[in-house]
A and B are shown apart, each in its own frame.
Chain A
Amino acid sequence: MTTIPGATVSRTGRQSNIRATSPAAVSLALAAPTLLIFIGLVAVPVFSVLLISLTSWTGFDLATIRWLGVENYANLFTDPIFLRALIHTLTFTLATTLLLNAAGLGLAMLVNTKAPGTAFLKAVLFLPVLLSPVIVGLMWSGLLRGVGGGLNMLLSALGVINQPVFWLGDDRFALLAVILATVWQFAGYDMILYYAGLQNVPHTLLEAAELDGARSWAKFRFVTLPALYHVMLVVVLLNVIGGLRIFDIVYVMTRGGPNRATEVLATYMYEQGFQLNAMGIASAIAVVLIALAVIASLLRVRVLRYV
């Protein structure tokens, strides 16, 4: 911040009528479109969703809205489907975050060897990142279909199975399938972020460690990893926030089924709000989602303070 508002004011006086308005007013005017759109379509909805979550409402006629207090929340936490959706969301978030970070970091280090073929790998890994999760969901549904699906074809050719497995129709495999499809899509994203981080690992430190006779693992553990700590925090937070809000790929692949085996908070919220018109319950689920995302980001601020 090199500009001092006071200095601008005095010059305004000298410059006569070119800028008669105060800098604060000009600044506010420049920021106004952003602030208005943001307040109107993000801040107001956040408050509305909090309010609606305390009511019973079908969403159409405001006259029919009925105040409930915390009843929706009380009901949610005794609703077995909601609890399953919550557990699935947390499982999904934890699993994808761990797998994505392990894959992302490993692949980034592989690409960073700059050996022949790794540039191609980098481009290939990034392709799924560009796709809509809807398209990714479609591709994996095709691959995992019971009849004529690619995975069953491969496994029966290898002699692992002799009956087709309906991966997405089987509640033992469906959540795992959605997790794998998500990891397939976003491994390249984490890889690009870690790869960017690896470019900042000081070469001199690695050379010094080598001169000291450090083994590969020691170099990784004591030089590379500490240098990546900041990047890792950002990547973990992005993965956690992305995991909590998961909707598209589940909606396309399984619609939360079979038997709610892949039901997550966002799909259950969608069902309550837009199929059952229970706006109060849907909003209460949305508030839980927002709370989880805010808690995750606050944790990151806490962690950063100790770095």
Chain B
Amino acid sequence: MSDMSSALTLSRPARLAASIGALLISIIVLTPVLWIFSLSLKTSRETLRASLLPAVPQPQNYVEAFTRYGLGSLFFNNGLVTIVSVAVTVVVSMSAAYAFTKIPFRGSETLFSLLLLGVVIPPSALVVPLLIEMRYLGLYDSTAGLALAYVAFGLPISTLVFRGFFASIPGEIIEAARLDGCRETTILWRIIAPMSKGPIATVVILLFLANWNEFILALVLLRNPARFTLTLGINAQLGQYTSDYHLIAAASMIAAIPVFLVYLVLQRQFERGVAEGALKS
């Protein structure tokens, strides 16, 4: 690993070494995924034998995993809670960020820094009081309650991202709109929001990844298997001590594939969104 600090002056052998290194590391990183893919195509007996590949690939494992574990319903629940929570978080945090940056008042900075503490607090540390609170609110074991919890933990980071962007919008635009008699909500949703496609994409990607994959809040706040999300449903199968590793592998692949596909289409936005979301904080 000699000359890696810049792309400027890479000699031919160094470039070749970099390419070979990249290929080897790619293979190592992909191995667990490929292993599970191979496992998902094996028969139940083959899962106990030390074989690299299935003798005869069993694609019907995917159908069986899908129906036996009710993956259709798990996907639906996961999609619903993710879409609702992301949409609500974006709308609510955009208006808060607008208020904090463009209509500051005494104490608004303090309120914002209070909100920022939320970036640090681990959701897992609050599951005990959240469970109790949800029971009192009648939202325990409901999709709405889980979505609301996701909104609460998504708000700090999304408000932070929007605030950073709004601060860069010149005040003259808003002043001019105010002079024309626009209400603040009109300014926000008709003028500012259409300019904010970049930060909206960042926030949607960050929250989509976090909420689609979330586990501990769902584990604590849901009880009825009919409302289970994907990770929860698959985890519940693990508790059964089955020997159906090939089916669990197939279920894992089914759960992973949609996210992979979205990533392949939106690779650049994903990488930018994740980097921006993290480096803003």
- Tell me whether A30 and B50 are in contact (CB under 8 A): no
Please state if B5 and A18 are interface contacts (CB–CB under 8 Å): no
Residues of A within 8 Å of B, CB-based: how many?
A: 119
Contacts of A1 in B (CB 8 A): 101, 104, 167
Secondary structure dominating the interface of B: helix
- Taking a contact as CB atoms closer than 8 A, the residue among B5, B129, B149 that contacts A44 in the complex is B129
A30, A235, A269: the one within 8 Å of B124 (CB): A269
Q: Verify A127–B19 contact, CB threshold 8 A.
A: no
| Cβ contact within 8 Å between A109 and B5 | yes
By the criterion CB–CB under 8 Å, are B19 and A3 in contact? no
Residue of B nearest to A241 (CB): B120
B149 touches A41 (CB 8 A): yes
Which residues from chain A contact B127 at a C-beta distance below 8 Å? 269-270, 273, 286
CB-CB nearest in chain B for A279: B128
Q: Name the A residues within 8 Å of B213 (CB-CB).
A: 130-135
A residues within 8 A CB of B170? 2
B32 and A143 contact, CB distance less than 8 A:
yes
| 8 Å CB interface, A21-50 against B | 23-24, 26-28, 30-31, 33-35, 37-38, 40-46, 48-49
Nearest A residue (CB) for B169: A2
Minimum C-beta distance from B243 to chain A (A): 10
Task: Label chain A's interface by main secondary structure.
Answer: helix
Q: Is B240 in contact with chain A by the CB < 8 A criterion?
A: no
**B86 contacts chain A at the CB level, 8 A cutoff:** no
**B179 contacts the other chain (Cβ, under 8 Å)?**
yes
Distance of A129 Cα from B260 Cα, bound (Å): 10
Residues of A within 8 A of B184 (CB): 19, 26-27, 30
- A134 touches which of B31, B47, B215 (Cβ 8 Å): B215
Count of A-B contacts with CB under 8 A? 353
Is the beta-carbon distance between B23 and A245 smaller than 8 angstroms? no
Bound-state CA distance A208–B235 (Å) is: 55
Contact A224 B5, beta carbon cutoff 8 Å: yes
Residues of B within 8 A of A107 (CB): 25
Given contacts A27-B108, A38-B156, A45-B130, contact A110 B260 (CB under 8 A): no
**B23 — nearest CB in chain A belongs to which residue?**
A117
Closest Cβ–Cβ distance, residue A307 to chain B (whole Å): 15
- Report if A3-B36 is in contact (Cβ < 8 Å); known contacts: A8-B178, A37-B151, A121-B26: no
CB–CB B245/A219 < 8 A? no
Contact yes or no, A234 B279, CB < 8 A? yes
> Shortest CB–CB separation between residue B259 and chain A, in angstroms?
5
Q: Is the CB of B19 within 8 A of A116?
A: yes
A299 CB to nearest B CB, Å: 12
> What is the minimal beta-carbon distance from A225 to any residue of chain B, in angstroms?
9
Closest to A128 in B: B29
Chain B contacts for A70, CB-based, 8 A: none
CB pair A43 B181 closer than 8 Å: no
Within 106-157 of B, Cβ neighbours of A (below 8 Å) are at 106, 108, 111, 114-115, 117-118, 120-133, 148-149, 151-153, 155-156
* Contacts of B86-114 to chain A: CB distance below 8 A: 92-93, 95-96, 98-106, 108, 111, 114
Whole-angstrom distance from the CB of B256 to the nearest CB of chain A?
Answer: 6
Contact of A26 among B35, B103, B248 (CB under 8 A): B103
Question: What's the Cα separation between A198 and B198 when bound, in Å?
Answer: 21
* Residues in A whose Cβ lies below 8 Å from that of B175: 3, 7
Q: Which residue, A27, A118, A293, has most C-beta atoms of chain B within 10 A?
A: A27
Beyond A19-B183, A112-B6, A193-B274, list 17 extra A-B contacts (CB 8 Å). Answer: A3-B171, A3-B175, A7-B175, A30-B96, A30-B98, A35-B96, A44-B133, A113-B15, A115-B10, A121-B26, A122-B271, A132-B215, A142-B35, A142-B39, A143-B35, A193-B279, A203-B8
Which B residues are within 8 Å of any A CB, using their own CB? 1-10, 14-16, 18-23, 25-26, 29-33, 35-36, 39, 47-50, 52, 92-93, 95-96, 98-106, 108, 111, 114-115, 117-118, 120-133, 148-149, 151-153, 155-156, 159, 167, 170-172, 174-175, 178-179, 181, 183-185, 188, 209, 212-216, 220, 230-231, 234-235, 238, 245, 248-249, 252, 255-256, 259-260, 263, 267, 270-271, 274-276, 278-279, 281
